[in-house]
Every structure is written in C-alpha cells, then in structure tokens.
Amino acid sequence: MLRRKALGLPSVFNAIEARGLGFVLLHRCGQDFYFLIVCTWRNNNELWETVFYKDGAAMADFAAFPREGTHKPTFCVWELAPVWHEKEAWERFLKSARDGAAAQAWVSDCYAGVA
C-alpha cells in the first residue's frame, strides 16, 4: 500500500518492486521537468527508492530515470523536509502496535507545508 495515491502513475510502475508501506514525492524542476520518487519501507529501518522522470511535453509518460555508476543521487535538499516527516511518522508506526489502527494513523499523517 503506497501512502500517497497519485493519478496517472507510469505504466513501468507495475514492473518495479515497490510493495508494502511507502510514499511518493513528485518534484517539479523548472517549468516542466518532473521527478516521481517512489519510496518503500523495508526491513523496519530501510528506505528503498525508484526514480522516474518526465521531460514535459517531450515525453508522453514517466520513465525510469537512468542512474549509471556506483555513486548515485538520492534526495535533494528540498525533498528532505517531507522525507524527514516520513521518517518520524515511520518511527511512530514502529513503536506502535502495528495493527490496522496504527497503519491508518500512519496513512493519515501527511506532510504539508513549504520545503
């Protein structure tokens, strides 16, 4: 179950291994370039990510963002505010009973504000 529901997720989204509890970030760069970052929590303390991009009208849909080399980018400084919120919310969930009510409280705890 992804924490944030987004309309029009790329078709390649079905091929990734993003299962379980998680969240997505939609980051607009400039006028019409976007990153869609799909994050999932695994093994209690690991944050996994898959990154998609869309270059405005030049692309019909999001595509997997190519990441060559061994040293890879993660989050930019503007994405760290909602990621920190998610980290705090996830810690509260881990310290809870981890039942349906705790999961619903986690889903309802959304970041809003300036980053």
- Write down the pLDDT at residue 5: 43
Report which residue type is found at 3.
R
pLDDT exceeds cutoff 70 at 12:
no
Q: Are 13 and 22 in contact (CB under 8 A)?
A: no
- Check residue 91 and give its pLDDT: 95
> 113: helix, coil or strand?
coil
3-class secondary-structure state, position 25: strand
Cβ atoms 24, 39 nearer than 8 A = yes
The confidence band for 7, taking pLDDT boundaries of 50, 70 and 90, is very low
Task: Quote the CA–CA distance of 108 and 76 in Å, as a whole number.
Answer: 25
52 vs 8 pLDDT, higher one: 52
Query: If you write DSSP's letter for every residue of 51-91 in order, what string do you get?
Result: EEEEEGGG-SS-EEPP--SSS-----TTTHHHHHHHHHHHH
Give 72's pLDDT tier (boundaries 50, 70, 90): confident
Residue 20's pLDDT band (cuts 50, 70, 90): confident
Name which of 11, 39, 12, 13 is nearest 25 in CA terms.
Answer: 39
Angle between helices 80-94 and 100-108 (to 10 degrees): 160
Check pLDDT > 80 for residue 2.
no
